[in-house]
Amino acid sequence: MNRESVHSSPYFGWNNETSKNLVWRVTSATQEQKFNATFELIKNVNRDAHQYLKDVPKEKWALTFDEGYYYGAMTTKVSECFNGVLKGARSLPIMEMVKYTWFKLNAYFNDCRNKSIAQLNSEKKWCKYALDIFMRNKAKVEHHRVTRLSVQQQSYQVDTPHNPGTTGHGDHTNGVNLLQRTCTC
């Protein structure tokens, strides 16, 4: 069983939009506290679905517990990936398909190399992709409050404000320990 088969299971009553959304949220959650909160909601909305999920090992269907094996891959159908990459090669003879694939890959790596060289020549410390992620995260944390708990142990408390526009709605308190490199988020 995987996330795809959980989403298509009859236990979740696909005519019920609430159940469908909750199942998507619980299978896609990346933080244990969000997983637990959503799993509890499923219990209140659909006890059969909750029991069904409880009987199957979480590692098989929940992103929170998959130990990094499927993170970011929301589909297990490899053929879909190839179809997306090779749209222009459909119905071609095998040799033409191989040539098409070679030229497509060559163009891709050429483009990546040219972008990398341009970024290195611009003497920027970070590439555009990493800088965009950094700036998005910087904007997110502008309203967080950090409290130092211990200088010697390098431990801190991070409070996030209430934010109805996010999945978890904010309003969390997390502990961060820099020496141990741990976070309760």
43, 61, 96, 147, 160 from 163: Cα distances, Å: 25, 28, 53, 20, 9
Residue 38: the pLDDT is 92
29, 41, 149, 184 from 62: Cα distances, Å: 7, 15, 33, 19
Q: Does the residue 50 lie in any domain? A: yes
Q: Are 61 and 20 part of one and the same domain?
A: yes
Q: Does the residue 75 lie in any domain? A: no
Q: Does the residue 51 lie in any domain? A: yes
Q: Are 108 and 150 part of one and the same domain?
A: no
Residue 119: the pLDDT is 85
Which residue has tokens 């269907």? 61
Strand pairing report for 145-150 and 173-177: unpaired
Which residue has tokens 């959304």? 21
SS3 67: coil
Q: Does the residue 40 lie in any domain? A: yes
Torsion-angle region of 141 (φ positive above 0: left; ψ -120 to 50: alpha; else: beta): alpha
Residue 65: the pLDDT is 83
Which residue has tokens 């999945």? 167
Q: Are 11 and 58 part of one and the same domain?
A: yes
Q: Does the residue 111 lie in any domain? A: yes
Helix residue spans in the chain (DSSP H): 3-7, 17-28, 32-45, 47-55, 78-85, 94-121, 128-141
Q: Does the residue 137 lie in any domain? A: no
Bridge partners of 154, per DSSP, are none
Residue 46: the pLDDT is 82
From the CB of residue 11, how many other CB atoms can be counted at a distance below 10 Å?
15
What is the span of the domain harbouring residue 173?
A: 143-183
Number of structural domains the chain divides into = 3
Q: Does the residue 173 lie in any domain? A: yes
Per-residue pLDDT of the chain (185 residues; tens, 9 = 90+): 555 666 666 655 555 778 778 888 888 888 889 999 999 998 888 888 888 888 888 888 888 887 766 544 554 566 666 666 667 676 778 888 888 888 988 999 999 999 888 888 887 888 888 899 999 989 888 889 999 999 999 999 999 888 777 766 778 899 999 999 999 88
Q: Are 61 and 11 part of one and the same domain?
A: yes
Q: Does the residue 81 lie in any domain? A: no
Q: Are 12 and 53 part of one and the same domain?
A: yes
pTM for the predicted model, two decimal places: 0.40
Residue 72: the pLDDT is 47
